[in-house]
Amino acid sequence: MALKRIGLIGGMSWESTLEYYRLINRGVQAALGGHHSAPCIVNSLDFAAIERLQSEGRWDETGERLADAALALERAGAEGVILCTNTMHKVADRITRDLAIPFLHIGDATAARIEASGLTTVGLLGTRYTMEQAFYRDRLTAAGLAVITPDAGDRQTVNAVIYDELCLGRIEPASKARYLEIIARLAAGGAQGVILGCTEIGLLVSQADTALPLFDTTAIHAAAAAAFCLGRTTPAQPALQPA
């Protein structure tokens, strides 16, 4: 069969981009068997430059850089684009403004997976931008979901672990324990499941660590990308995707 070529805007961080590439190819191979793999083009950016713009609040500039990256993928022959990070979906509107090919939004894929599970109230973990700003939460609430975020102290912990450890490839048992405590507090506050709303969090905690349903956005988004390559409208994956 003719597979569609997917373009990946990666590097934010490259640790999670590796997971995207692996999961997309595994999804296509699982569907077709044999030696099949996904036609991919990866445009991997220097995260140091993006992180500096984030911390300085220069979101318009990040939007321009990512829009240029998406257009470069389109010119290179990509038939669809995914952005391999949750936080930078803050500038999704700028990325898609001049793009003539489909853009697979991580929030839409995640909301669809949660809706399929039958849950209505979810906790959200991610960078402080994702947890505190409206761009991501509003995408979920528009799909009919109630979203709970950790308190200020827990948000600081979640964010610090992402930037100071996970983005640098550090997996610390103590940080895993803190994350599981935060997940337990979200459950006590009414969360029926928890979104791992940063593409690195799945490197630290997984469904095997808790009975509470976890929605690993890296796995969900990669499944949507594999489905796109296969010409399918929805990923043929379980409703609850282990991290």
Please tell me the total count of domains within the chain: 2
For helices 59-75 and 47-55, angle between their N-to-C axes, nearest 10 degrees: 150
Active site residue 85: yes
Catalytic residue among 62, 85, 87, 217: 85
**For the residues 32-50, what does the mean pLDDT come to?**
96
| Torsion of the alpha carbons at 217, 219, 223 and 225, rounded to the nearest 10 | 70
Query: Is the domain of 71 the same as that of 165?
Result: no
**83 beta partners:** 9
- CA 160 vs. chain centroid, Å, equals 18
Q: Is there a domain that residue 223 lies in?
A: yes
What CATH code is carried by the domain that includes residue 175?
3.40.50.1860
Q: Is there a domain that residue 100 lies in?
A: yes
% the chain with pLDDT above 70: 95
Query: Is the domain of 144 the same as that of 94?
Result: no
Residue 148: domain span: 107-217
Query: Is the domain of 127 the same as that of 179?
Result: yes
Query: Is the domain of 67 the same as that of 156?
Result: no
Q: Is the pLDDT reported for residue 6 higher than 80?
A: yes
- The pLDDT assigned to 142 comes to 93
Q: Is there a domain that residue 240 lies in?
A: no
Query: Is the domain of 151 the same as that of 182?
Result: yes
Query: Is the domain of 212 the same as that of 149?
Result: yes
**pTM of the predicted model as reported, rounded to 2 decimal places:** 0.91
Average pLDDT value over all residues in the chain: 93
Query: Is the domain of 138 the same as that of 196?
Result: yes
% the chain with pLDDT above 90: 94
Tokens read off for 133: 């700003």
Q: Is the pLDDT reported for residue 98 higher than 90?
A: yes
Q: Which of 2-6, 109-113, 233-237 has the lowest mean pLDDT?
A: 233-237
**For the residues 214-222, what does the mean pLDDT come to?**
96
Query: Is the domain of 25 the same as that of 56?
Result: yes
Query: Is the domain of 66 the same as that of 150?
Result: no
- pLDDT tens, residue by residue, 144-153: 999 999 999 9
- pLDDT tens, residue by residue, 52-73: 999 999 999 999 999 999 999 9
* 196, HSE (Cβ side, Cα atoms, 13 Å): 29
Active site residue 210: no
Q: Is the pLDDT reported for residue 160 higher than 90?
A: yes
Q: Is there a domain that residue 238 lies in?
A: no
CA distance 77 to 92: 20
Q: Is there a domain that residue 149 lies in?
A: yes
- The pLDDT assigned to 5 comes to 98
Query: Is the domain of 99 the same as that of 172?
Result: no
Query: Is the domain of 86 the same as that of 117?
Result: no
Q: Is there a domain that residue 235 lies in?
A: no
Query: Is the domain of 45 the same as that of 112?
Result: no
- The pLDDT assigned to 243 comes to 30
Catalytic residue among 40, 84, 167, 198: 198
